[in-house]
Chain A
Amino acid sequence: MIPPAPCVLSVERLEKSFGDVRAVDGISFHVAQGEIVGLVGPNGAGKTTTINMILGVLEPGGGKIEIEGVDLAADRSRALSHTNFAAVYAPLPGNLTVEQNLRVFGMLYGVSDLSERIEKLLAAYDLMRYRRTKAGVLSSGEQTRLSLAKAMLNRPRLLLLDEPTASIDPSNARDIRAGIAKFVDNGLCGVLWTSHNMYEVQAVCDRVMFLSHGRIVLEGDPKTLPEEHGAASLDDLFVNVAQEALYAAGGR
């Protein structure tokens, strides 16, 4: 019997409220090494709030987050040293060039072979010709590729991707999905991936969690989950779950 892969992320009874609104309502989940976990749900379901708490930029109201066994609340700096993220709403500083951005963030993550690593990432994300271009004048797709290159700088054990391919054309999106899947295939990194693109979730995720009103309402293999719940596709299942959650919330 193959032993289960160790957890890179463990979330226990995580909570966060903003005033009277319970944005995240006691969710628990884990991400194992070599696993890509999709976190999907309608707008305002609590996906970004959850990611922000895991990134240490939002203090949870309750619960516990451990990254590679390190308690985020107790030792944030160590917990985040092997974590990285890319989010469509967090572009890198537009007044630095592509290469300068990678160097600054590489120093922040303490990447030892930084110059060599930057060269590899510039090549991998097709950014070589933009290395001296200010990030602010890149197209949104190029900025996303830069964010992903930054996210790979420290060879993260935990990668948080918040709609990483939202601004990218289908061809580039496919390449990027393949690149991330290949990186995860080395078995050391776990990924938490939010997306509204159910095709993407089905293509890359080993497991998917449906979040609604701050709760995980459904979880399973994205390839078999629609059939198990009588839906034609993951897209349809998403709509059904979102609507059911909406009715339930209305009835509460």
Chain B
Amino acid sequence: MNVSRVGAIVVRMFYLYRGSPQRVFPIFIFVAIDVLVWGFLTRYLNSVSHADFNFVPALLGAVLLWDFLTRVMQQITMALFEDVWTRNFLNFFATPLRTSEYLAGLLVVAVITSLMSLIAMLILARAAFGLSFLTYGVAIAPFLMVLFVTGIALGVAASALVLRLGPASEWLIWPIPMLISPFAGVFYPVTVLPGWMQAVALILPPAYVFEGMRSVVAGHAPPWDRLAIGAMLALVYLALACLFFFATYRVVIRTGLIARYSAETVT
């Protein structure tokens, strides 16, 4: 892997972010809105609920963790969309740039922007609602890692779809996290789901994170064995997503779609 070529993809995104507040703004604004809306909701639930249960770490924490996964996925696809919107695939892929280097560049951009999002989210949640991720103890590290890897896997798979289906598939990509969230048990235990949905949850890494998070909030030890399963699944999905991306690239090179990307030959 050539560092200069990976760096070129990152530098391109740096130039775009530097000169464009409209690109920087979404890194923070959606997170801030979620923190405020869910923060006030959890505060309200705490005030009307007479139980000892604290909704802040269970509900607001869940929202923030889910937001983190969504941000990671979107940052990868957003970086790819920059090339879709400028019809730049021909220019980039007629250089010595390898597909793996392009993908690595998108990943680095996603890591940086997602971390910025995460930091903003932590500061705001702490300042406004007193939520600290330290509430979850050492388990927060695997929680974030599993969600991060899953977000990357989703972003890479979504990018492959965009590459294959053409510019209009943008509309297919954005709702992907929403489609997964009911199965992942973000706001409720997986046990409340019907049997078939629980079966789907078993193969979703985020489900293990949110189950683990609720377990920690309830005062139990983190379920390390379950988190290990979630981590393994996330890594498997990442490998599959990369294979899917490389296979898709081979298809678009064979059909010539990469050179005439706006053609949208798949109907």
Contacts and interface: CB of A to CB of B under 8 A. Distances in A.
A28 interface: no
B182 interface: no
A104 B96 contact: no
B93 A57 contact: yes
Contacts of A56: 93-94, 253
Interface residues of B, number: 33
A52 B12 contact: no
B95 A95 contact: no
Contacts of B253: 56-59
Interface in A52-70: 52, 55-59
Contacts, number: 90
A77 B98 contact: yes
Given A57-B258, A80-B94, A107 B16 contact: no
B135 to A, nearest CB: 41
Interface residues of A, number: 32
For the residues of B in contact with A, the DSSP-based class is helix
A80 B96 contact: yes
B70 to A, nearest CB: 24
B258 A104 contact: no
Contact of A110 (B2, B12, B82, B93): B2
Interface in B226-267: 250, 253-254, 256, 258-259
Interface of A: 18, 49, 52, 55-59, 76-78, 80-81, 83, 85, 87, 90-97, 100, 103-105, 107-110
Interface of B: 2, 4-5, 7-8, 11-12, 15-16, 19-20, 82-83, 85-98, 250, 253-254, 256, 258-259
29 contacts: A18-B256, A57-B256, A59-B250, A59-B253, A59-B254, A76-B96, A76-B98, A77-B2, A83-B94, A85-B94, A90-B91, A90-B94, A92-B88, A93-B12, A93-B82, A93-B83, A93-B86, A93-B91, A96-B12, A97-B19, A104-B8, A104-B11, A104-B12, A105-B8, A107-B8, A108-B5, A108-B8, A108-B95, A108-B96
